[in-house]
Structure 1
Amino acid sequence: MIRIGPSGNSDAFYASGRKHTYQEGEFLHSIGLNAFEYSFGRGVSMSDDTANKIKSEFAKYGIALSVHAPYYTNFANPDPEMIAKSISYIKQSLTACNKMGGERVVFHPAACGKATRAEAVEATKRNLALLAESCKDIPFAFKLCAETMGKNNQIGTVEEVVDFCLIDDMFYPCFDFGHINAYTHGGLKTKDDYRRILDYTIDKLGFEKASVMHVHFSKIQYGDKGEIRHLTFADDKYGPEYAPLGELFDEYKMSPYIVCESNGTMSDDALIIKNVHKNA
């Protein structure tokens, strides 16, 4: 099954009179979506009561849930104490996600800082191995989704993310196609542009893992240094367009988890994504 939904509460959600995230379960079901991503971008904080309410309501309406870990994880940081903090942020996110009934946690891999890109990538690989070892004793099922990044000084190209996913079975790719388009300065234009990414990923990771990849999708304004800001699907300048990718997911019989990150219109634009698919 392809899972499709918004990242966070959209303008349409609030316009409907709803206020609380647990109400997303009924809202998303009512408009025909079946996934939601909760962001702990600025830190993991949620009471058990709130988590249980979200879990109950989402289960009632068949809505899958994923979590975005704090944005400031950096597995290329040269300071061991900062690596320990990044590992802690991920584990806190996993615990919160599990309490809400989800199993996927998305995270930002790293930034170059003062290191060369090659040095930063190698440090990230070493420290992700430490993260994997630290998570071995977690007693519930989970997936850690390393995200492709949109700025030139960030670690997370398609190839880097796929490489990270070879470190351990717990790692899965999160392809943010708006980010990919931004750091390639508009490199996603044709179906073949997307096909190359899917074929590369399947070749390196195998179809079983690649077919359930995590996906972020939005149109993103970019400049010389990459990503600037998220847009809506109404934008006709920056892209990328979803239809060519969606057609390939259907052609390849893949079952990705797709999160729309448009600016305010994420539930509306998630429905546009859904309408590309024949059986979503």
Structure 2
Amino acid sequence: MKKILTLAAVVTAVFSFSASAQILYKVEKPGNDKVSYVLGTHHFAPLSAVDTIKSLPEIINGVDKLYGEIEMSKMSDPAVIMSMQQKLMAPTDSTLAILLTPEQTADLTAAWEKYVGSSQQLAGMLQMVKPAVISTTMAAAMASKALPDLNPLEGIDGTMQNRAAAAGKTVAGLETMDYQIDMLYGRPISEQLESLLKTVKEADEEGTKAVELSNAYIAHDINKLYELIMDADNDNPQTMERMIYERNDNWVNILKDEMNGTSILVVVGAGHLPGERGILEGLKKAGYTITAID
């Protein structure tokens, strides 16, 4: 796999924010009494990874608002669910049952049975859903198998939003659910198919990657986490632009103004924090001072 960023470049990009291992940052602007915070999360890490941060409950109680990537309570809205289901369906002339060769179908079925479930379930999905649906389902199953002690009902992002809501804080999303669905499943079918075939080919490596990412997060080692993410995805610059950089830019444009008058806790994936186009650097360029905290 070709490397766009060497390890040295990664460390240089994040050193100003993370000389030690941290995932929580204070955001301040000279002359402004509003203090905000940014917490990096990871979808496949235990809640205990953030519960070791002793200052976090006080921070939640002290802010006015929590911003997540999306407002997760809306995921149970029937209208949102219906819209999402429609966007997951493949065009009738481009289902996987049509696109995959017999050999590719056999390889996919073997990987699915090993990590996810029955081939009957997969056969039905091949007639209906887009390739990215299969890819994301498999990735989640692989991570779950590699991390058997992880409780899926105790996700860090959702728990932080629930705690903020219980404390009477405003909870909002930096993106809509529609935006995320379009980002994940709105790509050309040919791109989705290529990603799926790569997932199948590298299936036995995915568990190791999931453990490495989870361990880096538990250690609050954002440098290592960022390195692993770059190594996994840097062979596709378009994917990095769409999934990371473009979203970072959008979020900074929202936060840099709102943080002037509102104390905010931002809770987003840790991979969005570091780097030259990370949200920490973006806020720094907007005049904010960034301080890593325990």
TM-score, scaled relative to structure 1: 0.31
Q: Which has the higher helix share?
A: 2
Relative contact order, higher structure (CA 8 A, sep 6+): 2
Q: Which has the higher strand share?
A: 1
Larger radius of gyration: 2
TM-score, scaled relative to structure 2: 0.29
